[in-house]
């Protein structure tokens, strides 16, 4: 089925309809993950300050797109696939980059939803005598397919706070989560603060509790992925 795309920044919106899969990957998903400018409509869009929505559904006929009704008709007949497509595209980038060398280090990259989640994650890793590594350099290495020469982290720990965070860059956060899941596969471990239900985007990944008292469960997950703990 074809895809329909919307990019929004504040009150500005651009849309494209009936894109084929190759066209979507080449013109939208790849530059979006790389943080590059995207040309859509008569404007250029920067992922850092824009939001992306992708729908998959039946092809729209010209009459269905007339008088500005295209997007509302697409929403009625299509399903949202933004997160899964970004995760899949990120996985392809990671596989073609340096991802296969991920087990060369005992360090674990840390992708935390909030400062509180980061502190809890650091304590969880310390209980296993593992080092925490910054996410930002790893993200850049995956996207550019050019690691800086140092050993890659053995895994990535995605730490979610007790409550979803308000006021932050939610789109950017979930894009990074998709990138981590796609690039690391079984070496991406989700840790949920006590009381937090697993969001849909990470539900299939399984989760451990974001508490040093539950460090053994994280150790089991890492050992199952072939990491010495």
CATH classification (class only), 99-224 = alpha beta
Range in 30-34, 128-132, 198-202 the model is least confident about: 30-34
- The one-character DSSP state at 26 is I
Confidence band for 101, pLDDT divided at 50, 70 and 90: very low
Domain with CATH 3.40.50 in the chain: 99-224
CA distance 57 to 79: 6
The more confident residue out of 125 and 200 is: 125
pTM of the model: 0.55
- Calculate ∠ Cα 57-60-64, nearest 5°: 130
Is the pLDDT at 124 greater than 50? The verdict is yes
Q: What is the CA radius of gyration of the chain?
A: 19
- The one-character DSSP state at 197 is P
**Phi, psi dihedrals of residue 56, rounded to the nearest 5°:** -115, 125
Is the pLDDT at 188 greater than 50? The verdict is yes
Of 135, 113, 134, the residue nearest 190 (C-alpha): 113
Give residue 181's pLDDT. 84
Is the pLDDT at 225 greater than 80? The verdict is no
Quote the percentage of the chain above a pLDDT of 90. Answer: 29
Confidence band for 144, pLDDT divided at 50, 70 and 90: low
CA distance 174 to 214: 25
Give residue 35's pLDDT. 64
- Are 86 and 32 in contact by the 8 Å Cβ rule? The answer is yes
pLDDT 10s digits, 22-74: 999 889 887 777 667 888 988 888 776 788 899 999 999 999 999 889 999 99
Give residue 206's pLDDT. 76
CA distance 180 to 183: 5
The more confident residue out of 93 and 60 is: 60
Confidence band for 104, pLDDT divided at 50, 70 and 90: very low
Range in 140-154, 167-181, 182-196, 200-214 the model is least confident about: 140-154
């Amino acid at each position: 089925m074809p895809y329909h795309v919307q990019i929004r920044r504040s009150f500005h919106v651009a849309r494209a309809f009936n894109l084929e899969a190759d066209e979507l990957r080449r013109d939208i998903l790849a530059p979006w993950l790389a943080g590059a400018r995207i040309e859509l409509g008569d404007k250029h869009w920067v992922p850092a300050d824009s939001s992306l929505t992708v729908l998959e559904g039946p092809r729209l006929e010209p009459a269905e797109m007339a008088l500005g009704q295209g997007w509302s008709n697409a929403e009625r007949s299509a399903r949202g696939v933004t997160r899964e497509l970004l995760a899949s595209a990120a996985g392809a980038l990671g596989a073609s980059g340096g991802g296969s060398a991920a087990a060369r280090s005992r360090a674990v990259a840390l992708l935390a939803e909030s400062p509180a989640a980061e502190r809890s994650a650091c304590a969880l890793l310390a209980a296993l005598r593992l080092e925490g590594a910054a996410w930002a350099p790893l993200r850049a290495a995956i996207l550019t397919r050019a690691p800086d020469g140092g050993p890659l982290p053995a895994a990535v720990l995605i730490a979610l706070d007790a409550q979803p965070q308000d006021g932050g860059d939610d789109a950017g956060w979930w894009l990074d989560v998709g990138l981590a899941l796609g690039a690391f596969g079984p070496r991406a471990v989700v840790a949920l603060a006590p009381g937090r239900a697993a969001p849909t985007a990470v539900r299939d990944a399984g989760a451990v509790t974001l508490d040093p008292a539950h460090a053994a469960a994280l150790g089991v997950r890492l050992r199952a992925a072939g990491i010495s703990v």
